[in-house]
């Protein structure tokens, strides 16, 4: 099986993840498709995959890195615009799109680092270890981001922070994530 044939089954998932990551209702599909295309091109050139590396993890890590670079470029464009330079509308804030569901709008309001973790765990059903490897942080950092993302969604939908029940002995909040081995 060629490397290209090995990559192709992951493309629909990459596209789904890219569309959810891209927070631009005016050109969501185009930008997501560009990210996926760049991801596949980079993967085909990657020596780690030719030596038998984890295709799925590398593809999602590459797509995540490309999206971060895209966001950084958007921040540069915003700064140039604020300084009076001409800039494109890419990276500017857009009004809420009417065709998106309430959950899509809530997820889009999360910061990019929280959105990445939430999407990889919830949408792509990756393990905590895989997500931590993809976003290049320790598992505990990834879990903290996942917790913050879920808390922000709860606040968005419930209108107020959800209080954690107190444990009886040490007065600390009871743990709300279970450890998975």
Whether the predicted pLDDT of 49 surpasses 50: yes
Summarised one tens digit per residue, pLDDT across range 50-91 is 777 789 999 999 999 999 999 888 766 555 555 554 433 333
Q: How far apart are CA 92 and CA 78, in angstroms?
A: 7
| Helix, strand, coil percentages in the chain from 3-state DSSP, rounded to 5 | 65, 0, 35
User: In the chain, what are the domain boundaries?
Assistant: 1-95, 97-164
**Which pTM was predicted?**
0.72
Q: What are the structure tokens assigned to 49, written together?
A: 């995959």
Q: Which fold has domain 97-164?
A: Arc Repressor Mutant, subunit A (1.10.10)
C-alpha 86/C-alpha 100 separation (Å) is: 30
First-to-last alpha carbon distance for the chain, in angstroms, is 32
SS3 173: strand
């Amino acid at each position: 099986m060629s490397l290209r044939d090995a990559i192709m089954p992951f493309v629909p998932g990459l596209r789904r993840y890219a569309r959810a990551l891209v927070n631009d209702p005016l050109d969501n599909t185009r930008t997501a498709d560009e990210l996926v295309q760049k991801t596949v091109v980079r993967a085909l050139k990657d020596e780690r995959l030719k030596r038998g590396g984890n295709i799925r993890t590398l593809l999602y890590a590459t797509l995540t890195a490309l999206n971060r670079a895209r966001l950084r470029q958007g921040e540069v464009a915003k700064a140039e615009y604020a300084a009076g330079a001409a800039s494109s509308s890419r990276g500017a804030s857009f009004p809420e799109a009417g065709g998106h569901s309430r959950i899509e709008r809530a997820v889009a309001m999360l910061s990019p680092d929280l959105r990445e973790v939430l999407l990889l765990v919830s949408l792509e059903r990756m393990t905590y270890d895989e997500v931590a490897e993809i976003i290049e942080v320790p598992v505990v950092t990834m879990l903290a981001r996942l917790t913050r993302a879920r808390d922000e969604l709860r606040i968005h939908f419930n209108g107020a922070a959800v209080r954690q029940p107190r444990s009886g002995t040490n007065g600390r909040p009871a743990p709300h994530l279970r450890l998975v081995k």
